[in-house]
Amino acid sequence: MTEQEIKKHLNQIQKIQDERQEKFYSWLKTLITISIGLFGILVSFKTNTSDSFLRALFFSIALSSLGLGILFGIFLLYSEVHILDKTRNKITEFVLKRLDGNPDPVEFEQINPSIFFVISRKLCYMFYIVSLISLIIYTLINEFKTMWQLY
C-alpha cells in the first residue's frame, strides 16, 4: 500500500469516527431533553395520596435515578468539548513540531476521553436503566394490588 492510499484510508476512518461522534451526541441531547420533560411530568403529577411504602420507594428510586442519569448525561455531553480541546492541542503540537524542523512528528494519534467521562457514560446508562425498571415496577405494584383485591 502506498503512503497516499494509507492517508486516504486514515481520512475515511476519521470521517466515519467524526460522523459517529456527531450522531452519538445528537442522540444523547435528545435523550436528555426527553428525560428532563419526563422528570418534570413525574414530579408535577405525583399525588400526595397515601401510597404503599413499596410504591413510594420505587417512585423515589425512579426519580432520583432519572435525575442522576440526566446529570451524568450532561457530563457526558461536555466530553464532546473536552475531546475537541484535546484534538486542537494535538494538532497545534504537531504543527509546532513541523515548524521547528522535526521532519517526522506523529500525525495520527487516537484521542480518548478521560476516565471521568468513561465512568460518566457508564453511570448515565446505569441510572437510566434503573430509573426505567423502577418506573415499571412502580406501575406494576398498583396493578397487582388491584388484581389481588378483585379475587
Query: pLDDT, tens digit, for every residue of 27-71?
Result: 999 999 999 999 999 888 877 666 788 888 999 999 999 999 999
Residue keyed to cell 435515578: 65
Q: How far apart are CA 114 and CA 78, in angstroms?
A: 11
Give the length of the chain.
151
Taking the whole predicted model, whether its pTM rises above 0.85 is answered as no
Q: How far apart are CA 49 and CA 46, in angstroms?
A: 9
Q: How far apart are CA 9 and CA 18, in angstroms?
A: 14
Q: What is the CA radius of gyration of the chain?
A: 24
Percentage of residues in the chain having pLDDT higher than 70: 91
pLDDT band at 151 (very low <50, low <70, confident <90, very high): low
pLDDT digit string (tens) for 80-139? 888 888 888 888 887 887 777 776 656 666 778 889 999 999 999 999 999 999 999 998
Residue type, 93: E
Q: How far apart are CA 22 and CA 40, in angstroms?
A: 27
